[in-house]
Chains A and B, each alone.
Chain A
């Protein structure tokens, strides 16, 4: 019988056993002995935007989420090495379908709401997350519905309380990735006593404006810090929680023994980049994000340490294969040939200043699911250059009206092929990439590419949203971004290529990118029809509990994606952050902030 467990056993939650995990190996600055940690100081970070709310039921932005997470841990975290680290609770499953969640027994709400129990969770899930209609407007409600294979309908995932501190989630189908999805990962909870005031009357306004929710008055001992002040557009301050539950838990790494290690944490909202960076340089803030073109200067400053962490966001050329794009993009051979036209190393080194990794498929190279032996590389080494591009492109276009006239790729009337490439007008780096791609296509493929700037909202509404013309009834439709077959449904404006959007590759839950490679995928605004059945591989991998087999299947899927070149994969930019040289705890790994409560000043 298969038994999947998190990092600690369920018994360990009650303080009866430890997980024996030592300090080391999971990328959290653990090489520093805990003896060097001491409590003190105010950690000040800079943010370019402010939060919208501290009432997390109403928010969908990352900044608001990070403000709340400082005071509410959530049920578990994921370590960079893709291990679950239980915070409020852990899970157990026999079959990858039914998950039993066990809460710790030392979790206390604030504001007199008593102990956190399974009843709080089940009440919240059933009455808020799974309410029909979604009266509260909870932004992630869709996560709590799945298609029931028996009825073929999307239904609420059954959730049931099984004890004072335990409840079960019964998925309709096996999903071993479930704990890694942002369904329960860092999921927070609200006392039933607060929610009950609004559920019966479905009082969305009351819930939104509840004072206890908006001042985080209920957080008790559930997070490393407690809410202090939030001065909008200026600063958010939290104070060390003297009763933090994790300090009393046996079996967690030593570095959590006195966590958190800052007396206070403050986020200062500084929207202007130059001011933000000036504040970092002058020591007025202890951390701030740094754009790649400025990173080199900060690497030379003695009072700032630059930390570079890989990110899962993909920078690529999206080809428009719908009828208002360039039709040859529909050919796999053409897309593969164009894969030889752009030097990806140059994109990484010259445009992104070395703060990025070359991308070859829908998964970063550092991911568990990336299989070198399966992935076909393009745009690097001898798989890049004019000769390589032209011979392949000529062959791919044989039998069509297109062909080479000397250095130029021409159409049937002898005119050079001219294509557009769109980029975000508010992103200078994107503009540089677009110019570089245009230059590479011109020199290596003989195609004249014209970069076009467009604002993000305009691109979204006029280029990404697709629909069939009025009066047409398409054979099928898959929503706002895939309004039907590519010969019928198009965007309002025509386009050929774009680099406006970055796609998440989901290295913790790779199956989440399935929709990109399905003809009827909800995100397939570019009209890609895969030649291989990539989504079948995704589905098989999703339902496989054997970790090794899943790795094989996903490896094969990402290999096929690299072979088909649905996008012109370019790079995965890294996150560059500058820290005051006294800050300790962060690491050069993806998701390095998962244990930020153990960070400290040297």
Chain B
């Protein structure tokens, strides 16, 4: 097991190196719209487009050879000195450190609520299959899944923020993190993300649980007089949890990372989603590589935790000396 984990970690380092190199290469060969716009503006006001281009390259350090730049960026990554963000005028580490808490403050409750609500509805639906409440739960889950987060967020803002005034329209980063004010302004973003996420958890847990609802050992437990709660948690959820881990750990991490940009834009939350997206738009190489490293790290660790979780949940699984 230990050897397995070590190998996985080493492979993660190689994968990270490859991902960063490819990302750097793509950025290096992509024309920069900001540079082209500056050239155009210079020419339109009677100036020199070429001089504008040279100035831009000098500011961005692009007047050095690609190899020199690549070496510098990769060395920065290894030494954890991630360089200077050109689009924000601050060290990349500071930019990520400032953004990460804002992503965490809405994604942690989103993840917890998605798992709890999704699992609860899924298990309830499995044990009450084809009843009206099963259909209602399925409708609720799919409503959140089908409705676009971006649009849903705007509608909630207009109704509950602008018209009713129950929640602030714009996220206020000045409010202390652990306060009622922060909780209040997180209600709408969390609702949007949770409704978008629970459908997957709910349907998956329902499907997995259904495999065991009519299993012999469940029938045995019932015949021995076990109560419904015990049957659900001990005899259905436990075996169903192993495949569920795949979605609980992997997919949910992926979902909130992918969805965060849209929600952050709508609600004005200065988190990692906006940070990484804006860095790509601005072709801020240092910041793009820094945020890529974060997302890669989350994915790699998520997968590793998922694999290790299998062994905890199901003692029959053992990676042995693989």
Contact = CB atoms under 8 A, between A and B. Distances in A.
A599 to B, nearest CB: 22
B44 A233 contact: no
Contact of B48 (A58, A456, A479): A479
A208 B90 CA distance: 10
A135 B58 contact: yes
Contacts of B57: 137
Interface stretch (B29-37, B107-115, B131-139, B302-310): B29-37
A164 to B, nearest CB: 32
Interface stretch (A271-279, A436-444, A553-561, A579-587): A271-279
Contacts of B38: 60, 139
A536 interface: no
Nearest to A269: B268
Interface stretch (B9-17, B80-88, B195-203, B314-322): B80-88
A142 B55 CA distance: 10
Interface in A127-155: 133-139, 141-143
Contacts of A60: 38
Nearest to B85: A232
B49 A479 contact: yes
A55 B90 CA distance: 11
B44 A504 contact: yes
Contact of B33 (A268, A281, A460, A511): A460
A214 interface: yes
A387 B165 CA distance: 56
Contacts of B54: 133-134
B89 A514 contact: no
B169 interface: yes
Contacts of A481: 39-40, 43, 49
A306 B171 CA distance: 25
Contacts of B173: 231, 234-235
A523 B38 CA distance: 12
Interface string A458-488: 0011001100000000000001110000000
Question: Number of contact residues on A: which range applies?
Answer: 35 or more
Given A137-B56, A503-B44, A514-B46, A54 B89 contact: yes
Contact of B162 (A53, A137, A278): A278
A406 interface: no
A417 interface: no
A457 interface: yes
A456 B34 CA distance: 11
Given A137-B55, A275-B154, A481-B43, A285 B50 contact: no
Contacts of A133: 54, 58
Nearest to A509: B45
Given A137-B60, A270-B170, A279-B169, A142 B274 contact: no
Nearest to A143: B47
A52 B88 contact: yes
Contact of B51 (A134, A234, A270, A279): A134
B42 A142 contact: yes
B2 interface: no
Given A464-B40, A514-B46, A52 B170 contact: no
Given A54-B89, A137-B56, A137-B59, A231 B270 contact: yes
A515 interface: yes
A139 B59 CA distance: 9
Contacts of B33: 456-457, 460
Contacts of A137: 55-60
A405 B37 CA distance: 43
A137 B90 CA distance: 18
B49, B158, B161: most-surrounded residue (chain A CB, <10 A): B49
Contact of B52 (A52, A142, A232, A465): A142
A366 to B, nearest CB: 21
B60 A284 contact: no
A81 interface: no
A268 B55 contact: no
B246 interface: no
Interface string A202-237: 001100110000100000000000000001111100
B157 A479 contact: no
A281 B157 CA distance: 12
A232 B59 contact: no
Contacts of B98: 231-232
Contacts of A282: 161-162, 165, 169
Contacts of B161: 278, 282
A218 to B, nearest CB: 16
B38 to A, nearest CB: 6
Interface string B157-186: 110011001001111011000000000000
Given A139-B52, A231-B173, A55 B162 contact: no
A491 B278 CA distance: 29
A278 B160 CA distance: 11
B171 to A, nearest CB: 8
Contacts of A457: 31, 33, 36
Contacts of A209: 84, 89
B87 to A, nearest CB: 5
Interface in A70-94: none
B85 to A, nearest CB: 9
B22 interface: no
A307 B95 CA distance: 36
B61 A205 contact: yes
A479 B275 CA distance: 35
Contacts of B278: 50, 233
Interface in A14-64: 46, 50, 52-55, 58, 60
A46, A456, A481, A506: most-surrounded residue (chain B CB, <10 A): A481
B92 to A, nearest CB: 12
Contact of B270 (A232, A480, A522): A232
B267 interface: yes
A58 B55 CA distance: 9
B272 to A, nearest CB: 10
Interface string B67-108: 000000000000000001011111000010011000000000
Contacts of B126: none
A515 B40 CA distance: 12
Contacts of B1: none
Interface string B257-278: 0000000011110100011001
A512 B58 contact: no
Contact of B89 (A55, A134, A511): A55
27 contacts: A46-B170, A52-B86, A52-B89, A53-B89, A133-B54, A133-B58, A136-B58, A137-B60, A142-B42, A142-B51, A208-B59, A231-B173, A232-B88, A268-B170, A272-B265, A274-B158, A274-B266, A279-B169, A282-B169, A479-B49, A480-B39, A501-B40, A504-B44, A506-B45, A513-B46, A522-B48, A523-B43
Interface of B: 31, 33, 36-40, 42-61, 84, 86-90, 95, 98-99, 154, 157-158, 161-162, 165, 168-171, 173-174, 265-268, 270, 274-275, 278, 282
Given A269-B270, A271-B268, A522-B47, 20 more contacts: A58-B59, A134-B51, A134-B58, A137-B60, A204-B61, A205-B61, A232-B270, A233-B278, A235-B173, A268-B268, A270-B170, A272-B266, A282-B162, A457-B31, A457-B36, A460-B37, A461-B36, A465-B36, A504-B45, A514-B46
- What 6 A-B pairs are tightest by C-beta distance, nearest first? A137-B59, A137-B58, A53-B89, A233-B270, A457-B33, A234-B270
